[in-house]
Chains A and B, each alone.
Chain A
Amino acid sequence: MAEQQGFMERHHFLLRRLHSLSGIVPIGVFLIVHLTTNASVIWGAANGRAAPYAADAAGRGVATFQHEVNFINNLPLLLLIEIFGLWLPIAFHVILGIVYAMTGSKNTQTYAYTGNKRYLLQRLSGYVGVLFIFYHVASLRWGWTFLVPNGTEWSHYFAASTLAAALKGEAGMWTTPGVIVAIFYFIGVSLLVYHFANGLWTAAITWGITVSEAAQKRWGYVCTAVGVVLMGTAWTALGGFLFAVDYDQARAVEEQIFIEHHGEEGLQKFMDNPVDEQAAATIHEAEPGDG
């Protein structure tokens, strides 16, 4: 009998629990790190070590963010970490999530309980979140610039400035497609934060950590707090790139940091051939005392 069952059936329990787990570790953890990093564009203003790069808060934020990005990009085996720590878990979580969500139905109109609405929103946020992550990664990570208003390509060397431009659609100003992209980011990021916080709450039931109704309620407050803080972080980051970053100033700060690492010559080389990954890699290797 067991032989005739499909893979999903045979490993039903394991897959379900891995799905639950993967949403927290590594995806949830990554989300926290990612949003915290991005929010550094604002909280970086308070970063004393960024003071040499700019006199004003916005500039210090850009500098801090750039340092964070550089740190990540300099991690050893970054690609392996990305593939096994991020892309595969996300793909796993997404594919199973869709399969599982398909088993549900919607009856919030009849049974308009908060829990039921949360259940529905968890699934909707999953679907929208997948689209958002795809857009986010495709446009910024894979360089599918045709998805970006005005075709700005994000560069991790000029993280804040290129990101702000990619979001708003123009280097220094808002465009209509840019507004749409920005709204999409706002919605996408918010829903993903909700998805994580609510997922954290339901996972505790799934694993049997919170059993009593009171415990579920208490843990609900904790998850709400996590969600609120994370939502604040996300909105801070997004707001920072949309409203706080001045393109030209940011560019200047970023160039200063680039030069610090790669020298004037490196910057010149990079500007000549920005898309040449190999050239960039060369620059990287040539850089002494990197870190």
Chain B
Amino acid sequence: MSAIATETTKAAESTRTVHFRIKRCDGPGKPSRWEVFDVPVPAHANVISCLQWIAANPTTADGKATTPVVWESSCLEEVCGACTMVINGKVRQSCSCLMDEYAPNDGDTITLEPMSKFPVIRDLWVDRSRMFDALKRVRAWVPIDGTYSLGPGPMEGPKESETRYKLSECMTCGCCLEACPQYHLETDEAAWATSFIGAAPISQARLFNEHETGAVLKADRLEALMGPGGINDCGNAQNCVQVCPKEIPLTESIATIGRAATFEAFRRFFQSR
């Protein structure tokens, strides 16, 4: 609550100054530039609250008036994935990036950059439409018979449910793609279909393959993932699983889809007409 914020600011013994080096860009095709802001940081601040301070006080460290920094955010609880950015070189959500951890001392510097694998809209705001497009490619849904009342879904053991829950926590934030050496910025939408799709959608394909009804589309999902840009483009660097904020077993998903693809290939060779 606002009252709290004010009170705690007052209550905190003192604030420290942290230099925010922010990579800014006015729009697609515009050149990037760095701006530094000196932000008074109270205890228990995070990157978001500092960006909010900059929005209200858009003046650079050398006193030049500038515009508020543009970034995408929503829940601020690390469940929506919106505020993902590159902080001190590494990708993560900015809401859970605590200043007491990242810049504990007066005079520390923090560097904010937009994710590099997605086109920049403005400043730190990037367009991750390609990720949502990928979910269409792998048919990441259960093909139900419609929304009329037709009774419960299939029964499922607690283990299977837990496995799917873990996979289903993916918030399409793109950390796994930003850190992946096989995933690249692709501004040409026509090339999305053949550029490496990355860990998140592969893991989603597994999620729905493992649902009794969802498995109906398994062959379609594998078809999409066995072609160019699919499962085989993975280089097994396994950065994805390291940077995933939800600790989703992405490499297990990749291997699972790899196995399914192996069987599918044999099935097609020996079985399909």
Is there a direct interface between A and B, measured as CB atoms under 8 Å apart in the complex? yes
| Distance A13 CA – B229 CA, assembled complex (angstroms) | 10
Evaluate contact between B228 and A12: CB separation under 8 angstroms: yes
Q: Does B72 contact A (CB under 8 A)?
A: no
| Distance A121 CA – B251 CA, assembled complex (angstroms) | 19
Is chain B's interface secondary structure helix, strand, loop, or mixed overall?
helix
Q: From the candidates A105, A115, A206, A216, name the one contacting B232 in the complex (CB within 8 A).
A: A206
Evaluate contact between A111 and B232: CB separation under 8 angstroms: no
Count of chain B residues near A, Cβ 8 A? 37
Q: Does A4 contact B (CB under 8 A)?
A: no
Residues of B within 8 A of A207 (CB): 258-259, 262
Given contacts A17-B265, A208-B262, contact A12 B227 (CB under 8 A): yes
| Distance A216 CA – B194 CA, assembled complex (angstroms) | 28
Count of chain A residues near B, Cβ 8 A? 33
Which one, B10-18, B55-63, B77-85, B176-184, is touching chain A?
A: B176-184
Evaluate contact between A213 and B235: CB separation under 8 angstroms: no
Evaluate contact between B252 and A208: CB separation under 8 angstroms: no
Evaluate contact between B255 and A216: CB separation under 8 angstroms: yes
**Which residue of chain B lies nearest to A199 when distances are taken between CB atoms in the complex?**
B236
Q: How far is the CB of B271 from chain A (nearest CB, A)?
A: 16
Q: Does A249 contact B (CB under 8 A)?
A: no
Residues of B within 8 A of A110 (CB): 89-90, 179
Q: Does B260 contact A (CB under 8 A)?
A: yes
Evaluate contact between B181 and A104: CB separation under 8 angstroms: yes
Evaluate contact between B226 and A116: CB separation under 8 angstroms: no
Evaluate contact between B258 and A119: CB separation under 8 angstroms: no
Q: Does A210 contact B (CB under 8 A)?
A: yes
Which one, B32-40, B94-102, B130-138, B237-245, is touching chain A?
A: B237-245
Residues of B within 8 A of A106 (CB): 181
Residues of A within 8 A of B239 (CB): 107, 111, 113, 115-116
Evaluate contact between A208 and B251: CB separation under 8 angstroms: no
Given contacts A104-B181, A110-B89, contact A202 B236 (CB under 8 A): yes
Given contacts A104-B235, A115-B242, contact A206 B258 (CB under 8 A): yes
- Cβ contacts A186-225/B at 8 Å (1 or 0 each): 0000000000000000100111111111001000000000
Residues of A within 8 A of B252 (CB): 211-213
A-B contact pairs, 20 of them (CB 8 A): A12-B227, A13-B227, A100-B235, A104-B182, A104-B235, A107-B181, A113-B242, A115-B238, A116-B181, A116-B239, A118-B237, A119-B236, A205-B236, A206-B234, A207-B258, A208-B256, A208-B258, A209-B259, A212-B255, A216-B251
Q: List the interface of chain B (C-beta within 8 A of A).
A: 89-90, 179, 181-182, 184, 194, 196, 226-228, 230, 232-239, 241-243, 249, 251-252, 254-263, 265
